[in-house]
Structure 1
Amino acid sequence: MRITLREAAEFDAEAIHRMQLEAFAPLLKKYRDYGTSPATEPLEKTVSRIKNPDSRYYMILAENELAGAIHIVRKEKQGSLWISPIFIGTAHQGKGIAQTAMTMAEEQFADDKIWELSTLAEEAGNCHLYEKLGYQRTAKERKINDRATLVYYKKEMN
């Protein structure tokens, strides 16, 4: 399967937002994290991410079809990047697309040495994916509610 990243434009916001809501809806139902879930974000949040000069928002395409998206934010001038969100639409999950997309993103930002992200501790598949890609879980955690805890990951590039 051919995976590509294409930088999102403002006219892509609705399609990205629609897929984001779909991708995170099962997690929202399961964890009831209404204050933090990407499934509750308004369209304007997607638009602002696309327009943010300190970030890049990429559509993840599988065989030229929208499969998901990854938002990369520059945290510091000296090469620290934050991924939030990354998601794959439900029809495309479980096919290795996220792993390929993250590797491609890291290659596009080869001069940056520190990558960070967070995910729900209860989502073992997500944690496994990030660990397989070389991300290490940090000591930082944030309890969202009695069902969910955010855990933080960091990867230092050579």
Structure 2
Amino acid sequence: MEIKLVKAIPGDVLLLHDVQTRAFQPLLEKYLDYEKNPANEPINRLFEKIQYSSFFKMVVDQKCVGGIRIVARNNSYWISPIFVLPEFQGKGIAQQAICQVEEIFTKHNIWELQTILEEQGNCYLYEKLGYERTDFEQVVNDRMTLVGYRKIKN
């Protein structure tokens, strides 16, 4: 399943808000993280992210199935968020998206992100792509811990 990254524009905010909410809803219900989970993100905050950062729709067969946002900060790129609709997860879409953005953004060679420690599939994906765990660890609640990952590209 091949994906295409399409730069999001402000007019995509309703579509992306719906896809992001549907993608993160299962994690919200599982971990009860009402403060950080993007399923709870107000639409105006997403609108700002689309306007002021590099936000892409993940498109498969002309359908938006997810999104990825890249932020340049200091001397690195930060991936936050990345999401895929539940019915499209496990098909290599997030992996393709990460590989594509790593080819698009080449000014810095350091890539960073955070993920949920308890979501072993996510951790496996990032490790498979060459990301290594950092010292960052934040207990969000008794169900969930955020961990950091970093990749240095040569």
The Cα of 1:112 is off from its aligned counterpart by 2.0
1:82 counterpart letter in structure 2:
W
> Within the alignment, does 1:106 sit opposite 2:102 as a pair?
yes
1:66 corresponds to which residue? Answer: 64
Separation (CA, whole Å) in 2 of partners of 1:100 and 1:141: 26
TM-score between the two structures when normalised by the length of structure 1: 0.95
TM-score using structure 2 length: 0.97
Match of 2:137 in 1: 141
Question: 1:68-93 CA distances to partner (integer Å, 9 max, x unpaired)?
Answer: 000000112x4x11110000011211
Runs of 5+ unmatched residues, structure 2: none
The percent identity for this pair of structures is 47
Moved over 2 A (4+): none
Q: Which residue of 1 aligns with 2:50?
A: 50
Two-structure CA RMSD over aligned residues (Å): 0.9
Count of aligned positions: 154
- 1:24 CA displacement: 0.6
- Which sections of structure 1, spanning at least 5 residues, go unmatched? none
- SS class of match (1:61): strand
One-letter identity of the residue aligned with 1:18: D
Q: Distance in 2 between matches of 1:42 and 1:148?
A: 22
